[in-house]
């Protein structure tokens, strides 16, 4: 069982994520997705009358706040009890004020982009593609166009 404590191979993790989709659906009748938790967190953090633009059906996304909290706890468990050695997920340069500013700016793009695209890697790339939605395929291809384009430009400029 010692593989549990090493980084998991793709052929373990990929199918587990795939099975997660119907399991979540059958047990809770919810479609996998995370990015609308951002809107819901905004609703919790800001007084309601301050942002009348939030007139979407935000009650539907309440479960995602609990789900996101669970992800945090799960990640803590994985990093603390299920890892044989400390694994770093962010590079050292992000542990600085310029790093925080970069992450904040990148975070704005993540929040704005996923809400504009009505979904993220979970909602479109995993769930949407699993139910064979062409709109989710277009979104997923766009995610990669953006990421590859930025990587290419950053590689040749910086």
Partner 1 sequence: MKNLIYVVFGMIFGIILTKSEVVSWFRIQNMFHFVEPHMYLIIGSAVVVGAVSMQMVRRMKLKSIDGEELVIKGKPFHKGFIIGGIIFGIGWAITGACPGPIFAQIGAGEYPALFTLAGALAGAFLYHSTKSKLPH
Could you tell me the two tokens for 52? 């009348």
**Integer Cα distance of 19 and 158 in angstroms:** 40
CA dihedral defined by 63, 65, 71, 76, rounded to 10 degrees? -140
- Cβ 96 to partner 1 shortest distance, Å: 9
Could you tell me the smallest distance in angstroms from the CB atom of residue 49 to partner 1? 15
Residues 6 or more apart from 31 whose CB is under 8 A from it? 24, 25, 123, 127
> Among 47, 139, 157, 158, which residue sits at the site for partner 1 (rule: CB under 8 A)?
139
Q: How far is the CB of 157 from partner 1 (least distance, A)?
A: 14
Rounded CA gap, 83 and 69, in Å? 20
Distance CA 51, CA 42 (A): 9
The reply on whether position 126 binds partner 1 by CB under 8 A is yes
* Minimum distance of partner 1 from residue 37's CB (angstroms): 7
Find all residues with CB under 8 Å of 103, minimum gap 6, and list them.
94
Among 59, 85, 155, 158, binds partner 1 (CB under 8 A): 155
Residues 33 to 52 in contact with partner 1, rule: CB under 8 A: 34-35, 37-39, 41-42, 45-46, 51
Contact between 1 and partner 1 by CB under 8 A: the answer reads no
Phi, psi (rounded to 5 degrees) for 81: -110, -20
- Among 1, 2, 57, 72, the residue binding partner 1 under the rule CB under 8 A is 72
User: If binding is defined by CB under 8 A, does position 7 make contact with partner 1?
Assistant: yes
Instruction: Give yes or no for residue 61 binding partner 1 (CB under 8 A).
Output: no
> By CB under 8 A, is residue 84 in contact with partner 1?
no
Q: Is 106 in the site for partner 1 (CB under 8 A)?
A: yes
At residue 156's C-alpha, the angle toward residues 121 and 91, to 5°, is 55
């Amino acid at each position: 069982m010692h593989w549990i404590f090493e980084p998991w191979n793709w052929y373990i993790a990929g199918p587990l994520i795939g099975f997660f989709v119907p399991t979540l659906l059958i047990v809770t009748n919810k479609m996998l997705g995370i990015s609308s938790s951002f809107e819901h967190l905004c609703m919790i953090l800001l007084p309601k009358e301050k942002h009348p633009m939030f007139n979407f059906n935000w009650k539907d996304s309440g479960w995602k706040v609990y789900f996101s909290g669970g992800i945090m706890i799960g990640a803590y468990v994985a990093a603390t009890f299920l890892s044989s050695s400390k694994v770093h997920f962010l590079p050292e340069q992000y542990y600085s004020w310029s790093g925080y500013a970069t992450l904040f700016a990148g975070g704005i793009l993540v929040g704005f982009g996923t809400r504009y695209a009505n979904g993220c890697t979970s909602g479109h790339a995993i769930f949407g593609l699993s139910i064979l939605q062409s709109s989710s395929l277009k979104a997923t291809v766009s995610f990669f166009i953006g990421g590859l384009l930025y990587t290419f430009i950053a590689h040749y400029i910086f």
